[in-house]
Amino acid sequence: MEGKNKYFDIMNKISKSICKIEYNFEEQNKSGTGFLVTLPIPDSNNPIRGLITSNLILNNKVLYNSKISLNFIEKETTIYLTPLAHFCFSDPFLNITFIELKNTEYDGFEFLNIEENENISGYVYIIKDIKEKDISKGKITTKWGFKLIHTISEKDELLGSPLISLETNKIFGVYTDNHAEDINNNIFSVAVNMKSAIQAIRILYNSYIDNKSAFIEKEYGFVQKELKVLTNTEIFELKDHGLVTSTIPEMFISPQSPFITPLWFYRTNYAWYWTPTEPKNNYVEKSNWIIIYPGCSLKVIGGMFDGFEPAERNINLIHWLESTGFNYLV
């Protein structure tokens, strides 16, 4: 009985953090789900708190051109939010949006402490009805780069929900897509691994608190710079380090050579990603991308090279790209 009560106590706590996101954009009413988190950024001793959701729910156009309401069903309270006044991370490639909520007016809300957890268990659930504590159960079938492929398929308005371990009630990811395709054109659901989301947000946040080199100052705050168009000189510099262009401006290739398999590299406006899986027909979203991040793991996640590291040539290339910071990004 005690274990069961503890289970429902934790579920109640998670339920209090979940909100319905609503806004009007281009004369249409939009909605989705998000939840409040405390993230170990820059580190566990200096965490930040805020709202996290899918980029399909909130993207940069919405963030900087809409007033957003966060409706907490469990608490029966609404927050009205103007994102431009806050630090925001928004990325369609990772499919994550985060808005920092540091003001004292948010002190009475339930923020969930999130860890950079490696121990991701198989069986998971999302809360699909806050009032009734009704859940959808499923299983993580594959870890694929920053994605967790799972068997839960729910309606669009639940995208942005926390993906929770059925065994431990720890949050592993953010439910971001219910109709994605793999390299074999199979349909599946996706959550973004919370650890990958933390690493990405941390890169941009460090710029925000340091020199804001990845941001543009606006009248009421700072917004992310867009990915820049590379000059011929910059493209030549990348080629000089072993990267050749592709038909996609954001993607470069470290070509195959004797005893060395090729790698593909993708640049966003905050970090580079790499994968050993060729993006077939230029569908970059189908490959198992791994972020280039200070101190990051060099092991492949998913696919035929799962757990392996690249050849030394490509490891040196990854370390070099890490050292370039935002130089080839914004």
Q: What is the pLDDT of residues 302-315, one digit of tens each?
A: 999 999 999 999 99
Phi, psi (degrees; rounded to nearest 5) at 124: -140, 170
Q: Give the chain's radius of gyration (CA, Å).
A: 20
The percentage of the chain sitting over the pLDDT mark of 90, rounded to a whole number, equals 74
> What average pLDDT score do residues 205-220 get?
92
pLDDT digits (tens, 9 = 90+) for 167-189: 888 999 999 988 877 777 778 89
**In the CATH scheme, what is the code of domain 123-193?**
2.40.10.10
> Please, where in the chain does CATH 2.40.10.10 lie?
2-113, 123-193
> What average pLDDT score do residues 268-289 get?
94
**Residue whose tokens read 């990004």:** 329
pLDDT digits (tens, 9 = 90+) for 88-99: 999 999 999 999
Q: Give me the pLDDT at residue 296, please.
A: 84
Q: Give me the pLDDT at residue 187, please.
A: 83
1/243: higher pLDDT: 243
pLDDT digits (tens, 9 = 90+) for 222-266: 999 999 999 999 999 999 999 999 999 999 999 999 989 999 999
Sequence-separated (6 or more) residues with CB below 8 Å from residue 63: 83, 84, 88, 90, 97, 99
- What 8-state DSSP symbol labels residue 316? H
| Cα angle value 247/176/225 (rounded, 5°) | 55
Q: Give me the pLDDT at residue 300, please.
A: 96
25/114: higher pLDDT: 114
pTM for this entry: 0.94
Residue 28: pLDDT band by 50, 70, 90 thresholds?
Answer: confident
Q: Is the pLDDT of residue 203 over 90?
A: yes
Phi, psi (degrees; rounded to nearest 5) at 296: -70, 155
Measured distance CA(221)–CA(84) in Å, rounded? 6
Q: Give me the pLDDT at residue 26, please.
A: 78
Please provide the average confidence, as pLDDT, over all residues in the chain.
92
Q: Give me the pLDDT at residue 1, please.
A: 47
Q: Is the pLDDT of residue 267 over 90?
A: yes
- Bridge-based pairing of strands 112-113 and 28-43 is parallel
Q: How far is CA 105 from CA 49, 160, 205, 282, in A?
A: 13, 23, 22, 46
The length of the chain, given as a count of residues? 330
Q: Is the pLDDT of residue 326 over 80?
A: yes
> What average pLDDT score do residues 96-110 get?
94
Measured distance CA(103)–CA(318) in Å, rounded? 38
Q: Give me the pLDDT at residue 33, please.
A: 96
> What average pLDDT score do residues 103-115 get?
93
Residue 320: pLDDT band by 50, 70, 90 thresholds?
Answer: very high
Closest C-alpha among 136, 133, 96, 138 to residue 121: 138
Domain 2-113, second-level architecture: Beta Barrel (2.40)
